[in-house]
Structure 1
Amino acid sequence: MKQKSPICAVCRSTLSPNRKASDLERQMRDVQASCKGCNLQMALSNLRSHAATCSKYESYILEGIKSVKKEQPQVVSDVPNRFTFMCPYCRQQNLDQEGLVEHCNKFHFSDPTPVVCPICASMPWGDPGYMSANFMEHIHRRHKFSYDTFVDYSADEDAMMREALVRSLTDN
């Protein structure tokens, strides 16, 4: 595969690393801007070196950092994680739904221990205390697809059942 030439992130024109961009250098000498710290006017080409030595610019940056830190919410939301799961047998973490099925097939296929299905337990209607008598059969029957495609997590189970019945009658 041939390596592509680098391009400008702004205008997407091809950059030539071996050739000086004299037109751009000229523009940076001609265009004036002011320092955000001390409001001194200068050419863009001098702004970076000025900002490195301007104490008021440093204060300006620190104030911005403080305000950003203040505005961050301190409370972590109580939204359950429905994207990664822990293996109910060996406690391996960060398995997505497909990865959990593959992992259990590979390492726990013949384990008869009743366990709680982590996928079902993460659902609004899930019972985190319900142990599946045959987890491997359950995971193959119930989790062939991702619930995200078909489920409205904000609706309760009765509302979803009514919706499914209505759709099954009108889809024919």
Structure 2
Amino acid sequence: MAMHGAFSAAQYKKPVSDRSSDVSEFVCPVCLEIFESPVTTQCGHTFCQSCLQECLRPQKPVCAVCRAALGHWTKAVDLEALIQSSVAACKGCGAQVCLSQMRSHTAACSKYQDYIEEGVRTTAQNQPAIISPVPNRYTFTCPYCNCLNLDQDGLVEHCTSQHARDARQVVCPICAAMPWGDPNYRSTDFFQHLKLRHGFAYDTFVDFFTDENTMIQEALQRSLVDN
């Protein structure tokens, strides 16, 4: 239930002129934009009104910051007034913009878009490489030409269309990724193998922690039920 009241201005003691370099206190934790029609929950966290509405969708709504139950909130009147009267520099072009207009400005500012893209690239470059102990069983590499990131159906289609006349014996990358797979086994007829063994998606039927014979029996039983 909404409770209409004034948001405490005690949290905003800095003069407006001092805020042009730091607008973090005016940023919604959900959309990461300047607050739009801000409201404050009973647990003390502030959101855009539209963002709060998203938090209220579940049957038992909770605060997006602290996970406290949501039941009451107030309009952050004083905060909204500060947003209407404060200015800050666009991080793209450097222009001084009223905070209430910052969303529309950054949406149209090409230099701000460049600033965001550069930030994304820098963050991606600084991320440490994560080596997963779980093998990738969803995308595969073509055993003939090393084409990457083919899903099971894509691998079958790629090999059939691009390498149908290639007589080399190759290791099936799908089988090799499975717990029972032999990474050194080379199929004498790879295309027949693909047709017979990989006509269905493994992740639909397979329990990766069971042995191959058990998996095959379960897959057959399920196929009979489905038919």
Shorter-normalised TM range = 0.5 to 0.7
Partner of 1:152: 207
Q: Which residue of the partner structure matches residue 174 of structure 2?
A: 119
Tell me the equivalent position of 1:103: 158
1:11-30 to 2 correspondences below 5 Å: 11=53, 28=76, 30=77
Higher RCO (C-alpha under 8 Å, 6+ residues apart)? 2
How many residue pairs get matched? 118
CA distance in 1, matches of 2:138, 2:204: 13
Tell me what 1:45 maps to. Answer: 83
Choose from 138, 147, 156 the match for 2:193: 138
TM-score between the two structures when normalised by the length of structure 2: 0.42
Kept in 1, the 8 Å contact 2:141–2:150? The answer is yes
Partner of 1:56: none
Which residue of the partner structure matches residue 148 of structure 2?
93
Does the aligned pair in 1 maintain the 2:175–2:181 contact within 8 Å? yes
Q: Secondary structure at the match of 1:100?
A: helix
Q: In structure 1, how many angstroms separate the alpha carbons of the residues matched to 2:155 and 2:130?
A: 30
Between the aligned partners of 1:47 and 1:78, the Cα distance in structure 2 is 53
Equivalent position amino acid for 2:131 in 1: V
Please say which of residues 126-135 and 101-110 is displaced more in the overlay. Answer: 101-110
Please give the alpha-carbon distance, in whole angstroms, between the structure 1 residues aligned to 2:166 and 2:82: 69
Q: 1:73 to 1:112 in 2, by over 3 A?
A: closer
Decide whether the 8 Å contact of 2:140 with 2:151 is kept in 1: yes
> Partner of 1:57 in structure 2?
none
CA contact (8 A) 2:169 2:186 kept: yes
Q: Percent identity?
A: 50
RMSD: 3.7
